[in-house]
């Protein structure tokens, strides 16, 4: 993350603390790609069809607006950690509510235990979570710069877990062409993520 970006975010936090709702909105939008990535990771598989990641992100934004008065720092890094904690709690609540209200079939019910996708997040330190969060934001922003076909191939393969064969059908290309597309996309991402 560049020093300019960090300075801008710190200024936005200060303005938001001073009551500037537009600054708070801009801060939240800055974190949307990371929050969506985290939601996508948690709401994978059968949950993805029943719980919308955008709804959870919006709930996180609403929670952040409502409780922003409790945030007592002017640090952009602490804001990111605070927002991530709210989002993790909202994700866990959404999954728990979904299970408790029996929106899934009883035969497929699973307890929320140590296998819950957020377990590793809670087991790590705040600084490690923040570092992972910053990396995820950089990755999400870098993915936005990819050509549309590369972006879609990476999303389907690495975020949705699709096979090369399924992606080939979706993109109307051969498996070999999809493999080449993914290779180029990952090379582009690697180059973009090397830049400070």
Check: pTM over 0.85? Answer yes or no: no
Q: How does pLDDT run across 11-21, given as a tens digit for each residue?
A: 999 999 999 99
Q: How does pLDDT run across 114-155, given as a tens digit for each residue?
A: 444 444 444 455 555 555 666 767 777 788 888 999 988 888
Helix (H) or strand (E) holding 168: helix 164-171
d(CA 98, CA 101): 5
Across the chain, mean pLDDT equals 78
- Helix %, strand %, coil % of the chain (to 5): 75, 0, 25
Q: Give the model's pLDDT for residue 60.
A: 92
Judged by DSSP in three states, 36 sits in helix
CATH number 3.40.50.970 is the correct assignment for the domain at 145-196: no
Judged by DSSP in three states, 44 sits in coil
Beta-carbon contacts of 59 under 8 Å, excluding residues fewer than 6 positions away, are 90, 94
**What is the domain partition of the chain in residue ranges?**
3-138, 145-196
Closest C-alpha among 58, 7, 52, 68 to residue 31:
58
Averaged over 157-164, what is the pLDDT?
78
**Ramachandran angles phi, psi of 172, nearest 5°:** 55, 50
Closest C-alpha among 22, 33, 48, 43 to residue 80:
33
3-138 CATH fold: Rna Polymerase Sigma Factor; Chain: A (1.10.1740)
Q: Where are the beta strands (DSSP E) in the chain?
A: none
- Per residue, what are the HEC states of 88-143? HHHHHHHHHHHHHCCCCCHHHCCCCCCCCCCHHHHCCCHHHHHHHHHHHHHHHHHH
Q: Give the model's pLDDT for residue 99.
A: 67
d(CA 147, CA 5): 24
pLDDT exceeds 90 at position 172 = yes
Q: How does pLDDT run across 71-104, given as a tens digit for each residue?
A: 988 888 899 999 999 998 888 888 877 766 644 4
Averaged over 31-45, what is the pLDDT?
85
pLDDT exceeds 80 at position 1 = no
């Amino acid at each position: 993350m560049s020093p300019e970006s960090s300075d801008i975010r710190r200024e936005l936090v200060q303005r938001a603390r001073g009551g500037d709702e537009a600054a708070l909105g801009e801060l939240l939008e800055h974190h949307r790609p990371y929050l969506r990535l985290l939601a996508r990771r948690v709401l994978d598989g059968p949950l993805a069809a029943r719980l919308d990641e955008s709804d959870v992100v919006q709930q996180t934004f609403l929670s952040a607006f409502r409780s922003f008065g409790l945030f007592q720092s002017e640090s952009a890094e602490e804001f990111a950690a605070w927002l991530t904690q709210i989002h993790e709690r909202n994700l866990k609540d959404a999954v728990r509510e979904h299970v408790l209200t029996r929106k899934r079939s009883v035969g497929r019910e699973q307890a929320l235990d140590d296998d819950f996708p957020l377990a590793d997040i809670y087991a790590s330190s705040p600084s490690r979570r923040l570092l992972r969060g910053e990396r995820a934001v950089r990755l999400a922003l870098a993915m936005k710069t990819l050509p549309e076909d590369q972006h879609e191939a990476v999303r389907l393969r690495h975020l949705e877990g699709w096979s090369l064969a399924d992606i080939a059908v979706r993109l109307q290309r051969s498996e070999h062409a999809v493999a080449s597309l993914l290779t180029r996309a990952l090379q582009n991402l690697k180059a973009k993520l090397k830049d400070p």
